[in-house]
Amino acid sequence: MAVGSFAGSIADSHMAVRNYIVPTDLSLDDLRSIFALTDEIIKDCQKFQDVCKSKVMASLFFEPSTRTKFSFDAAMYRLGGNVIGFADPNTTSQAKGESLADTTRIISGYADLITVRSPYEGAAKHMSMYSSVPIINAGDGGHEHPTQTLTDLMAIRHYKQTLDGHVIGICGDLKFGRTIHSLISALSRYPNNKFVFISPPELQLPDYVAHNIDQSMILRQTDSLINEIGNVDILYMSRVQKERFVSEAEYLRLRDYYILNAEKMKRAKKDMVVMHPLPRLNEISAEVDSDERAIYFEQARYGMYVRMALIMNLLDLG
């Protein structure tokens, strides 16, 4: 094959590439079909076992992960595809100082799609400028984590039937919590949702997230969980993001600011649900796990199925 036509085919394929970097990269119609496909996959996972036969997903995790990495890898395997990646980022040429742009150019020549988790805000977006295959943002620093949002939306849809008309309390590290930023952006696209932001003053939601949504959707910003727990339909708890703090002392001062326990749960509505992207540290006591309103472990189960649907959607196989 002539070099020219090879280069040409890459440029042409780049034109059609769809990425998933922030929640709004998927239209509400895309979301509807991804959720419907997820329902189908949950019903009969086997039916999809050859959909990605001979496809390869590159899994580039430069930060720790359990749920996101395992569910993505399992999703690709369950679709009949293959996964390439590394157990330790220090074994890649990134450790020799190669630029992310060059790494992306190379890997996108080997794989059909790339999932990436990076400690740097904007890393996935940056990679999408050099990739000839879809890039999925599996978390970029303290910025966004849109595939956790798909998991969260599936759980809300299941436990609350709809994605609109809820009062959502978001509690914990609103400053650095990337799952929170993506969830707010996603839920603000559905009518009649209202937010109560609950955080210590030091960990309030960044302006770039708060200013990006219809201001009438923000009911209150407060530091009191106890005063608000009875008012919300969904309580989304989060871990204080140790890895984003410059000062260890500041982290230690703030990490146990909120502890949801059985006593506080007594004040919550009977049909309220407690969500958490996990991992959970002290912010939810283990005694809450047996409360039927605690849905965080069920929430995580959607992760693999909805990622199967996302992979199919981005590869135009759905």
Closest CB to ligand NCD among 71 and 108?
71
| Cα(85)–Cα(83) distance, integer angstroms | 7
Closest CB to ligand NCD among 166 and 178?
178
| Cα(134)–Cα(70) distance, integer angstroms | 19
Site string for ligand NCD, 51-90 (x = CB under 6 A): ----------------xx----------------------
- Catalogue the active-site residues: 67-68, 96, 117, 145
Q: Residue 313 contacts by C-beta under 8 Å, 6 or more apart in sequence? A: 26, 30, 33, 34, 37
| Residues within window 150-179 making contact with ligand NCD, judged by CB under 6 A | 178-179
Q: Residue 116 contacts by C-beta under 8 Å, 6 or more apart in sequence? A: 60, 61, 62, 123, 124, 127, 135, 136, 137, 138, 140
Residue 141 interacts with ligand NCD (CB under 6 A): yes or no = no
Residue 143 interacts with ligand NCD (CB under 6 A): yes or no = no
Least Å distance between CB 239 and ligand NCD?
A: 4
Phi first, then psi: what are they for 146, rounded to 5°? -70, -20
Site string for ligand NCD, 272-291 (x = CB under 6 A): -----xxx------------
Site string for ligand NCD, 193-232 (x = CB under 6 A): ----------------------------------------
Least Å distance between CB 182 and ligand NCD?
A: 9
Residue 139 interacts with ligand NCD (CB under 6 A): yes or no = yes
Phi first, then psi: what are they for 156, rounded to 5°? -65, -45
Residues 219-238 as b or e (16 or more Cβ within 10 Å = b):
beeebebeebbebbbbbbbb
User: Which positions lie near ligand NCD, rule CB under 6 A?
Assistant: 67-68, 139, 145, 148, 178-179, 239, 277-279
